Amino acid sequence: MEWEDWKYWYDQIVENLGLDPEEDTRAAKLLLELEGHRGGEPELLDNLIRGKDVMVFGPAPFSILDFGDVVKISAGSTTDQLVDMNIWPDIIVTDLDGDVPAQIEANKKGAIAVLHAHGDNIKAITDWVPGFSPPVIGTTQAEPFPGIYNYGGFTDGDRAVFLAIHFGARRIILKGFDFDNPMGKPILDMKLKLKKLGYAKQLIAWAEKTFDADIVFAND
């Protein structure tokens, strides 16, 4: 995903949801400052994902625990549910909400932490980023700059999908995804949450078509 391709979506989201691009950039610079000395290189993600089947976990309930040989990516606040089930992700894609201590625990168990900065999580960046262990990779939804990346996507779930596409996953399996019935962490603004999930749904469909990605929903 190149910035020029993503910018169309970003501009639309900024306008429709009232985001502040300058605050997004400020958050990204703070993230780089805090994680820079423990940063990871994108080649780590490439080596882990390329040519593999990837399973992205969302917060909706699922029952089957035998996933086969897949790279496991946890979308943000889903991580505490996985940890409770003794499922340890290989990658965590998070904007630092939900049960962040569970995300730090999974990171210490070896998960690569892909930490996302935006204008609404500046305090969370300050509070939580120092607790993560290397490797840590920083991302933004605004224009990227050296040390901070933008692989596309808006919510934790669809950003995980874009990440898998960017690094050449053979197939992407979505488990625990429900765009119409938000679950997981407490939701303070349901209307806003549904708007965000609406974008997540659109973005995944667009990515599947645009990048000829093999994406499968497996929510059982």
What confidence score (pLDDT) does residue 77 get? 86
How is the beta sheet containing 91-94 ordered, strand by strand?
148-149, 136-140, 112-117, 91-94, 71-75, 53-57, 171-175, 215-217
DSSP notation for 43-67 = HHHHHHHTTSEEEEE-SS-------
| Cβ atoms of 135 and 177 closer than 8 Å | no
What confidence score (pLDDT) does residue 1 get? 79
What confidence score (pLDDT) does residue 190 get? 74
What confidence score (pLDDT) does residue 188 get? 58
What confidence score (pLDDT) does residue 199 get? 95
**Burial, 81: exposed, middle or buried (Cβ in 10 Å; 0-12, 13-18, 19+)?**
buried
| Cβ atoms of 90 and 112 closer than 8 Å | yes
What confidence score (pLDDT) does residue 181 get? 75
What confidence score (pLDDT) does residue 147 get? 92
Among residues 49, 51, 50, 43, which one has the least CA distance to residue 73? 49
Structure tokens at 40: 């990871």
Note down pLDDT in tens along the chain; length 220 residues: 789 999 999 999 999 999 999 999 999 999 999 986 666 789 999 999 999 999 999 988 877 777 789 999 999 889 999 999 899 999 999 999 989 999 999 999 999 999 999 999 999 999 999 999 999 999 999 999 999 999 999 999 999 999 999 999 999 999 999 888 766 566 656 788 889 999 999 999 999 999 999 999 986 6
Query: Tokens 């917060």 — which residue?
Result: 59
What confidence score (pLDDT) does residue 183 get? 65
pTM, full prediction: 0.94
DSSP bridge pairs for 149: 139
For the chain, the structural domain boundaries read 3-217
Structure tokens at 137: 């990779």
Query: Tokens 């994108």 — which residue?
Result: 42
